[in-house]
Every structure is written in structure tokens, then in C-alpha cells.
A = this chain, B = another copy of it.
Amino acid sequence: MTQTVTFCFDFGSPYSYLAYKNLNSITEIGANIDLKPVLVGGIFKSTENRAPLMIPKKFAYLAKDMARWSEKLAVKIKMNPYFPIITVPHMRGAHVAKKMNLLDVYTEKMFDAIWVKGLNLNDQIILSEVAIESGIDGNDFAEGIMSDEIKDELKQSTQFAIDNGAFGVPTFYLNNEMYWGIDSMKFLTDDLKK
């Protein structure tokens, strides 16, 4: 039976982007990916964890570590000049995209806009443009991200991660096991092969 890995991510997290670009290490084993957009700010708040940004020396090291991963995976990434991106509408938008069967393309376009193109995704007009590029009607997107249904979807996916032990992103689940951080993907792929 095909195994499914749940991938919890937030567009504002550079390691979520790097992990996203490394998902082929999972799919090439034959496993499926269940993309689960969550709000990492909600996870931090619930668990009393803090973003690396809050610890200046950790944030300084993050740039170095990102460059190392970029080289290792041969994946382009640059720190977004508008970081941090407040991703509430972006993550709600992912649930709008999911309802329209456009989550794959929306995820790709949004990560690219933030971590490759370095666009100002705190600007709601640019956010809307990325949604439209993904094939979502601009009005549908604007209404969708303000609807109670979509707000609830994001709350539920974030709560799923919290209930299952997450304290940050990227976080993966395989059966009842949790894997946190891009570094843990080696353990995940090892387990998939067992």
C-alpha cells in the first residue's frame, strides 16, 4: 500500500520552502505527499516556542545554514527582503486553493514569489496577483480568505499539527511518527524504506 506523508508548512518559513523543494526525496521512494498548510504563528503561540527571528544570533546563523542547504540541494533561495511575511491571508489562501484543486500550483507559485523572486508578500495586491497566477479568480480569492469556512479550515489544520506534537514547521507525519525540520527528512526517508 502506498504510504502517505503529511507535510505541514507555512510559506513564511524558509525551511518550509527548502523542505518543499526536497519533497522529491520522499516521492522518489514512492510515497504520496499530503500538503497541509498551517499557520506557524499559531503553533508558536500555542507551544510558547519562538521564531528564530526572535533570537538575533540564531537568525544570523539561519542565513548561513540556508546557504548551506541551498548548495546541498541545488535549490535557489534568498532571504526575502520583506521578512517576516505575516502569512495569515497566504495560508488561508492555500485552503481556498485546496477547495479548487489548485493547492499544488498555488503552493509552488507562493513559495517561488517569496523565496526566489523576493517579492513583498506583505502587500495584499501582490498576494492577490500570485493567487491569480495560480488560476484563482481574484474576487473568489478575496472573498474566500475572509470567509468563516476558510478561516476554520486553517484553524483546523493548525490545530491538527499542534495536537500531534508540532512546535514549528516544517513538520512531517508518517503514521504516528512526527519529524521536525528539514534535518529530520533523512530519518523520514529511512523510515519510509523500512
Contact = CB atoms under 8 A, between A and B. Distances in A.
A58 interface: yes
In the complex, the count of this chain's copies comes to 2
B68 A58 contact: no
Nearest to A171: B61
Contact of A167 (B47, B58, B165, B177): B58
Given A47-B55, A48-B55, A55-B48, A61 B187 contact: no
A108 to B, nearest CB: 26
A126 interface: no
Interface in A26-67: 47-50, 54-58, 60-61, 64-65
B183 A61 contact: no
A55 B49 contact: yes
Contacts of A187: 65, 68, 72
Q: Which 9 A-B pairs have the closest CB atoms?
A: A183-B183, A57-B167, A68-B187, A58-B167, A47-B57, A49-B55, A57-B165, A61-B180, A55-B167
